[in-house]
Each structure stands twice: as C-alpha cells, then as structure tokens.
Structure 1
Amino acid sequence: MNKKIFTLSFMTVLLSSACSTMTPARYSISVDNNLELKKYGGSKIQLSALNATGSFDANCRLMGPIQASDGMTIPEFVRKAFNDEFKFAEVYGDSGVKLSGNLTKVAFSSSAALTNGWWEFALELESSNGKSMTVETHYDFKSGFDAITACNQTAQALGPAVQDLIKKAVTQPEFAALVK
C-alpha cells in the first residue's frame, strides 16, 4: 500500500510540475525612442519584414519556453515594436521608406552569475533606398535564484531589451541614411 501511495504522490508532483510558457507583457513605447524618432518628422517609415536567421533556444531552465506576447514569435514582436514606435512618433507610413530586417542573433540567459540575466540581439536593417546597417545589443537584468522567478523575469525583460535594441538602432548615424 505504501508503494502505491508513494507512486501516486510522485506522479501527482511530476504532472503538476510540467513546463509552462513564460510570456511577457505587451511592448510599451519608450519615451527616449519617441524623442529620437521625432527628429525624422515628415518621413514615412515602416519595418515591413523581419526574419530570424540565427538559431534561438526559447527554453528557460526546465520551466518551458519564453514566448512573446499575443502568440507572436520574437521577430514578429520586434517588428511590431519598431512599427509601434514609428506610429507613436508619427513617422509610420505605408508610402515611404520600407525597412526589412534580419535578426542574426536572439539569445538570453536567466542564470548569469546565478541571479542575473541578459538578452542579446544582433539586427541587420536594410532600406528600400539600398542603405543598410547592423546593430548589436546586450541588455542586463536581475532574474532570480529559483527557476519560476528567473524565467518570469527573463520573459518580462524582453520588452525593455527590445526598447534598448530600437534605441541603439535609431540613435546610430547610419539610421538617418536608411530613412532618407
């Protein structure tokens, strides 16, 4: 009888600890990015396509995958974030400069130095005017010790990490050449 109770208890614990998907909040506009993009007033910009050629391991510890909000992939999340920033700065438009991009690196850690984490991105942008640029970012954050906290913190850090990526892209001098 003890063996049956142990087995039943073990199976209950095992099934209740199955992996779950960690999802961040929706992207929110950055004031700094908005101020920078306002400099391009009169321009019409759109990130029309964004692919990912680098491999991306979405699994966070043994908790499960990190997935962008609203069921989007990471490239879809980043593309929507760029376009949301363009819209808020009133520089978004269907007619005008079309940007396309390629995420060559998407990576994260939820256990750097045990309780810290980071997101890294490498992005290539190409304009319909023939100009191109690349940008790489490394965004650090506090994750936590236990897997549940660390993976949730990693998911929640996606938005600020993408804000950082956009800021680095739009503040580079090469960005101005893309949108002319």
Structure 2
Amino acid sequence: MKKTPIALLGVILAVSGCSTMTPARYSVSVDNNMALKSYQGSTMDIVSIGAPEKYDSSCRMMGPIQASDGQTIPQFVNKAFNDEFKFAGVYGDGGAKLTGRLDKIAFSSSAGLTNGWWDLALTLSSANGQSMSVENKYDFKSGFDAITACNQTAQALGPAVQDLIKKTVTDPRFKSLLR
C-alpha cells in the first residue's frame, strides 16, 4: 500500500514538469523594410549581439521562454536584424560591421492581470567608433491562465523585436553607424 502513494506522487511530478515556451520563427516586417530602403547604397551586417548580465526567462512557473530554433534571445535578435537587412537589400559583408549588446531583456505575462509586455534595450556599436542605444517596450494581450499567458508572451517576442528594429533603424543616430 505504501508504494501506491509514492508512485502516484512520481506520476504527478512527471506530468506537472515545466514546459519551454518558444515563439515562432522571426518574420520580416514591411514597415522595417520600408525604413531600411532609405539606406539603399549602404551595406551593413550585425556581427554579434551579446546578452545582458541578467535575464529571468521563467514564466509563471510554467517554464522558460526561449527563442526559436534553439537560439538565445540575443541570437534571435541578431538574426532578425540581418534578415531585415537582407530583405531590404542592404545586407553585405563589405559594409558597416555592427556589434550589439542587449542591455535589457525583460517581460511580464501578467501586467494588469491579462496583459503583458516585453522590454528590450539595445546598444549598437560600429567599427567607426559611433554607438547608439534604444529601448522599446511592447505591450500585448497575454491571458489569465498560465499556459495561455506564457504562450502569448513567447509569441509576442517576434513583434517586440520587429518594433525594436523599427525604433533602431528609424532613429536619426542609426545613419552615423554606417559611415
């Protein structure tokens, strides 16, 4: 009889384990494409983006939020920038070499109970000595229960990165990185 409660406890623990929430792959933005068209004739490449000192990826005890394809969030952002550059025809090895650092990666899946946000801060530096920093907070509807809210939070990473890229490439300081 004593083995039954122990076995039942083991099954409950196995079933209630955490899940990893993963967003869809990044998709390029028409708005970002239009903004990047103004840089035609220039080429650019983000070589790498580093991680912040701290980032808590856990979501409501459901498990971590991770980027798609086994990437870290900085790698996801790096690839997203370069995908946008490629789509706009401004990506190239012979142009401006940019490096970056995500100064902040933060999210909430329970702001106002059923809303959420991503807060991403980025510093880009150019080989020409220029740098710039931007921060973007992206708000979205998450959900009440943990499963829905954490899945919605993971899916909101793509649009949050799209907005970060738009804020970056439409900032007048961005052009100084390309000289």
TM class, shorter-length: over 0.9
Q: How far is the alpha carbon of 1:4 from its aligned partner?
A: 5.5
Is 1:106 matched up with 2:68? no
Larger CA deviation: 11-20 vs 41-50: 11-20
Q: How far is the alpha carbon of 1:6 from its aligned partner?
A: 4.9
Contact persistence 1:54–1:103 (CA under 8 A): no
Is 1:86 matched up with 2:92? no
Number of aligned pairs?
179
Q: Distance in 1 between matches of 2:14 and 2:57?
A: 22
Q: Distance in 2 between matches of 1:109 and 1:176?
A: 32
CA-to-aligned-CA distance 1:43-101 (integer Å, 9 cap, x gap): 01000111113310011111110010000000000000000000000000001100111
* RMSD of aligned alpha carbons: 1.3
Contact persistence 2:52–2:105 (CA under 8 A): no
| Structure 2: runs of 5 or more not aligned | none
Identify the residue that residue 66 of structure 1 maps to in structure 2.
65
Q: Distance in 2 between matches of 1:48 and 1:6?
A: 55
Q: How far is the alpha carbon of 1:178 from its aligned partner?
A: 1.1
Q: Distance in 2 between matches of 1:78 and 1:65?
A: 17
Identify the residue that residue 46 of structure 2 maps to in structure 1.
47
Is 1:124 matched up with 2:115? no
| TM-score, length basis structure 1 | 0.95
Contact persistence 1:54–1:106 (CA under 8 A): no
Q: Percent identity?
A: 67
Q: What code does the residue aligned with 2:80 have?
A: A
Identify the residue that residue 143 of structure 2 maps to in structure 1.
144
| Structure 1: runs of 5 or more not aligned | none
Q: Distance in 2 between matches of 1:147 and 1:5?
A: 30
Q: Secondary structure at the match of 1:22?
A: coil
CA-to-aligned-CA distance 1:19-42 (integer Å, 9 cap, x gap): 011110000000000000010001
Q: Secondary structure at the match of 1:92?
A: coil
